[in-house]
Amino acid sequence: MYFTPSGFPILRNKKLVYLDSAATSLKPQSVIDAINDYYSHYSANVFRGLYDISEKATLKYEETREKVAQFINAKSSSEIVFTSGTTESINLVAYAWGRLTVGEGDEIVTTVMEHHSNFVVWQALARENGGVLKVLDVDEQGKLKIKNEKGKTTYKNSKLLLQNVITKKTKLLAITHVSNVLGTINPIKEIVVEVKRLNPKCLVLVDGAQAVPHMKVDMQDLGCDYYAFSGHKMLGPTGIGVLWGRKELLNSMVPFQFGGSMIAKVSLTETTFKETPMKFEAGTPHVAGVIGLGAAVDYLQNIGMEVIRQHEIELTTYVLEKLSGLNHLTIYGSKDISIRGGVLSFNVFDKSGNLVHPHDVAEILRRENICVRVGHHCAMPLHERLGIPGSVRASLYLYNTNEDINRLVKSVQNVQKIFS
Amino acid sequence: MDDLYREIILDHYKNPRNFGSLESKTHEAEANNPFCGDRIRMEILFQKIKRSKDQKIQIIKDIKFSGEGCAISIASASLLTEKVKGMSQQQISSLTKEDIVVMLGIELSPTRLKCALLSLEVLQQTIQ
Ligand SMILES: Cc1ncc(COP(=O)(O)O)c(C=O)c1O
């Protein structure tokens, strides 16, 4: 065990079993302290004051940009745009790039395993601009269906044939790095290579909301064009997130919102804007959020992303083994741990095979202080594809233990007893 | 046995009363709860009866419901259809959240209360 759950104040409540980190993660003391410190000791605006506490706030704010850039191995910190979260990051790209780029008959490709924030945005854009939305399917294992010449579904294979989908008219592939329902880790690097081979002009946007908190991500290695993630799922505060984009791309885009901070010069007839990333950060930003995110990155880096991933692999293996041992229970997604993160969605059935409604499962778990998410997890197209109205989702993070899993399994058995 | 899943609730969930649809009906409505995907439909046959010499009222002669949902929403719909048979439109309109809570006899969190109240919402919609 590498982590002290006691570093997370909320976990001092020993009764609590928190298995909903895919929705939002818990916060360590150091993150809470960093936010508290800003509000208690230097709560000034950034980029404005010439006095000490404003200078300090600005410094901390920009330091975090550096930290984040280094954390995801971006070429430069000017590629890091602070947003309110993954959702805003994706909407920013749709507005400041997509709206002006996707024309009549142009194509946007996405997948059936997306969170609504990386699906509805593109559906709406395609509709407004007369574009076409194409959706990649998943197989029974929850892996993307990308076929090779022989019609076989390939996955780890470097020869990913997306050629039936990506055409000269495709402007964007919007794809999640890790599924928030199935836990599937998509082979982004290989996919990008193949997409660029088919159409060098097609951009790739990756939704990293479920990846950045759990594994090492490397912008220069992945080869994608945009990457979006949220602070609150990686031990940071809510209301802060990141859009990473290749610099030339960000430079070529129009601003997302207009206002203070993002302008270079304003006259009655004309305004010029600052360079990337300031161009995209109009108004007073979420200073405390950024500073809290910086503390979260420090926390994660001190442990090491490889160590975190290893811990989650062990936990996921354990929970898969335990849950697979129960009758009348279906786990969705792949059993191959090398391509799966610590997100487990499942359903419980009674003896005659009727689905026990996920809400009833959650209710019984709630009574034993076990927090899981139930419903469609903002992924309705995927649930429709799986042919289920909803599911129960247990998601793991660095502070979870085998004991948490034991309690989950015991409660699920209790559900089965009640509904037998 | 967990008190939320009292015998009576599980019984009404597993063997819902008045489940199905009506051949002849005068009123119907359907609603869903997008948060859980619960869906309830109700069909009602109202009958005019004489209350006094010059006053006629409509009362529920028959009622059926259908749909899918969690144990709380299905049991609540089943119990409600039993409760309201013979009630007048006015009586139906004056049913409240408290009546449902009493009917179920359990304490509910705000989220689960929505499941329990879906059937009442649908019932009252039928006469709007
Ligand atoms: C895969 C994925 N994408 C996007 C989001 C949206 O993140 P946020 O609500 O922080 O904008 C989530 C979180 O729910 C997610 O799991």
Which pLDDT score is estimated for A156?
Answer: 44
pLDDT higher than 70, residue A192 = yes
pLDDT higher than 70, residue B2 = no
> Are the beta carbons of A296 and A240 closer than 8 angstroms?
no
pLDDT for A128-186, tens place per residue?
A: 999 999 999 988 888 888 755 454 544 443 344 688 899 999 999 999 999 999 999 99
Which CATH entry fits the domain spanning A33-302: 3.40.640.10, 3.40.50.720, 3.30.450.20, 3.30.70.3340? 3.40.640.10
Query: Which atom of ligand 1 is nearest the CA belonging to A87?
Result: 11
Which active-site residues of A does the annotation give?
378
CATH level 2 (architecture), domain A305-418: Alpha-Beta Complex (3.90)
pLDDT higher than 80, residue A80 = yes
ipTM: 0.81
Ligand 1 pocket mutation pick from A378, A380, A393, A396 by most atoms within 8 angstroms of CB: A378
Ligand 1 pocket mutation pick from A25, A176, A210 by most atoms within 8 angstroms of CB: A210
> Own/partner pairs for B95-104, CB < 8 Å, 24+ apart?
B95/B120, B95/B123, B95/B124, B100/B76, B103/B76, B103/B79, B104/B9, B104/B72, B104/B75, B104/B76, B104/B79
* Sequence-ordered alpha helix ranges (H) in A276-304: 287-303
CA distances to A180, A241, B49 from A382, in Å: 11, 25, 51
List the single best residue of A352, A363, A414 to mutate versus B (max B Cβ within 10 A): A363
> Are the beta carbons of A171 and A108 closer than 8 angstroms?
yes
Domain locations along chain A: 33-302, 305-418
Q: Which residues of B touch A (CB under 8 A)?
A: 1-2, 4-5, 10, 35-38, 68-72, 109, 112, 115
> How many CB atoms lie under 10 A from the CB of residue A389?
20
CA distance A155 to A145: 8
> Are the beta carbons of A60 and A294 closer than 8 angstroms?
yes
The residue with greater pLDDT, A20 or A367, is A20
User: CB-CB: which of B1, B4, B36 is closest to A375?
Assistant: B36
B115–A364 CB contact, under 8 Å? no
A389–B68 CB contact, under 8 Å? yes
**Predicted confidence band at B1 (pLDDT cuts at 50, 70, 90)?**
very low
CA distance A142 to A34: 39
CA distance B50 to B47: 10
- Which residue, among A211, A231, A230, has the nearest Cα to A221 in the 3D structure? A211
- Cβ-Cβ pairs closer than 8 A, A with B, add up to 41
Do β-strands A203-207 and A170-176 pair in parallel, antiparallel, or remain unpaired?
parallel
Which pLDDT score is estimated for A3?
Answer: 61
Structure tokens at A65: 């940009």
- Return mean pLDDT, chain A: 93
Query: Of the ranges A78-82, A280-284, B106-110, B113-117, which one carries the lowest mean pLDDT score?
Result: B106-110
Which pLDDT score is estimated for B55?
Answer: 87
pTM of the model: 0.91
Which pLDDT score is estimated for A123?
Answer: 97
> Are the beta carbons of A84 and A239 closer than 8 angstroms?
yes
B70–A418 CB contact, under 8 Å? no
Do β-strands A329-331 and A343-349 pair in parallel, antiparallel, or remain unpaired?
antiparallel
Query: Which atom of ligand 1 is nearest the CA belonging to A241?
Result: 10
Q: Which residue of B has its CA nearest to A359?
A: B70
A359–B1 CB contact, under 8 Å? no
Phi then psi for A103, rounded to 5 degrees?
A: -110, -175
User: CB-CB: which of A360, A414, A418 is closest to B70?
Assistant: A360
CB contact, 8 Å: A418 with chain B? yes
How many Å separate Cα A104 from the centre of its chain? 30
> Are the beta carbons of A359 and B36 closer than 8 angstroms?
yes
User: CB-CB: which of A359, A414, A418 is closest to B70?
Assistant: A359
CA distance A119 to A180: 13
CA distance B71 to A363: 10
Which pLDDT score is estimated for A148?
Answer: 54
Q: Average pLDDT for residues A33-57, to the nearest whole number? A: 95
Domain B2-126 has CATH 3.90.1010.10: yes
